[in-house]
């Protein structure tokens, strides 16, 4: 009797798997957010250099700010802080932030570093050590 239950379960599982596979093939092609947004002709976003083409590195003030933000985030494993900021501003990429927003994020990242260095924490939280 137990074998029959397992056989029935296996048949139901195989049928559901086939349904999901058919749905997946019938669904439209997924695209990245960036692919669906038309590129603006006004200015291109700051990008990493193509090392194979030996093109110059972007050393603009904006690129430096983005670099500093990512260095802080990667050094302290705070990438989620950058992600959260981008989500609150409704933009998918760091390069999509306006100048004042980029300045705000950099100031916040410096603030996080200062707070971590002095061991600041909420009163009811565990101390930063």
Q: CA–CA separation, 34 vs 10, rounded Å?
A: 41
pLDDT in tens, 63-118: 999 999 999 999 999 999 999 999 999 999 999 999 999 999 999 999 999 888 88
Q: CA–CA separation, 20 vs 36, rounded Å?
A: 26
Q: CA–CA separation, 63 vs 55, rounded Å?
A: 15
Residue listed under structure tokens 């306006």: 98
Residue 104: closest CA among 67, 65, 77, 73: 65
Phi, psi of 101 (to 5 degrees): -65, -40
Whole-model pTM over 0.85: no
């Amino acid at each position: 009797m137990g074998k029959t239950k397992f056989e029935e379960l296996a048949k139901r599982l195989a049928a559901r798997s086939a349904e999901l596979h058919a749905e997946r093939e019938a669904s439209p092609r997924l695209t990245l957010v960036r692919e669906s947004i038309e590129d603006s002709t006004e200015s291109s976003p700051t990008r990493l250099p193509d090392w194979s083409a030996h093109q110059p590195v972007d050393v603009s003030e904006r690129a430096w700010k983005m670099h500093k933000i990512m260095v802080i985030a990667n050094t302290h494993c705070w990438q989620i802080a950058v992600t959260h900021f981008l989500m609150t501003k409704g933009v998918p990429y760091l390069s999509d932030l306006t100048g004042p927003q980029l300045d705000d994020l950099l100031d916040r990242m410096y603030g996080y570093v200062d707070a971590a260095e002095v061991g600041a924490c909420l009163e009811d939280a565990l101390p930063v050590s």
